[in-house]
Amino acid sequence: MTDSIKDYTPLEQHLLNDFQRDMSLSATPFADMAEQLGVSEDEVIESIKSLQDSGVISRVGPVFRPNRIGVSTLAAMSVPEQDLECVARIVSAFPEVNHNYEREHKYNLWFVVTASSEEHLDIVLHEIEQHAEYPLMSLPMLEDYYIDLGFELKWA
C-alpha cells in the first residue's frame, strides 16, 4: 500500500478525488474519465489497476440506494484478531460484497451484501459463513438514511 499522500501521481490523485460521485451512466466510463483528465483510456485503466493492486481502492462501480435494485443487508462477524485479515479477504472476494470494514467491538468485521433476490442473498450469506468458518449476523435495513460517503482529498 502507498505509504504517503506524496506517493500518488497527479493522475491517481484526480482519479481518487474527482470521481467519487455524480458520474453519468456511460458505456465507456474509463474513456470518459480519460477525456476529462486529458490522458488516454489505457492510462486511466492502468492507474486504477495499480490503485487496486496496492489496496488503496477495492472496486470502481456504482453504489445504489439499498433495495432499489435487488436486496441487501448489513452483516457482522465476530472474528479473532489473528484471523481478521484472512476472513476480510474471503468476504471481499464475493462479488456481492460492496465493502467491509473493521470495528472495535465484539462484532469486529462489518460488510454490506447485495444480491438480486432474497433467495440469492440467503445463499451468499450461507456461502460466506462456510468459507469464512465464522457465523455472521444479518442486519437488514428497517429505515433508509442517506449518508454521502464521498470526501474531498487534500493533497499537500
The pLDDT value recorded for residue 106 is 95
The pLDDT value recorded for residue 67 is 63
Do residues 124 and 94 share a domain? yes
Phi and psi at 142, nearest 5°, equal -100, -30
Q: Is the dihedral of CA 99, 105, 108, 111 positive or negative?
A: negative
Do residues 82 and 123 share a domain? yes
In CATH, what number is assigned to the domain containing residue 128? 3.30.70.3460
The pLDDT value recorded for residue 6 is 59
Chain centroid to CA 60: how far? 8
The pLDDT value recorded for residue 141 is 79
The pLDDT value recorded for residue 4 is 52
Structural domain span for residue 44 = 7-53
- In total, the chain counts a number of residues equal to 156
Specify if 85 maps to a domain: yes
| Tally of structural domains, the chain | 2
Do residues 101 and 131 share a domain? yes
Query: Which of 20, 23, 39 is CA-nearest to residue 31?
Result: 39
The pLDDT value recorded for residue 1 is 42
Do residues 76 and 49 share a domain? no
Mean pLDDT, each 10-residue run in order, the chain (156 residues): 65 90 85 95 95 85 69 94 95 90 94 93 97 95 71 72
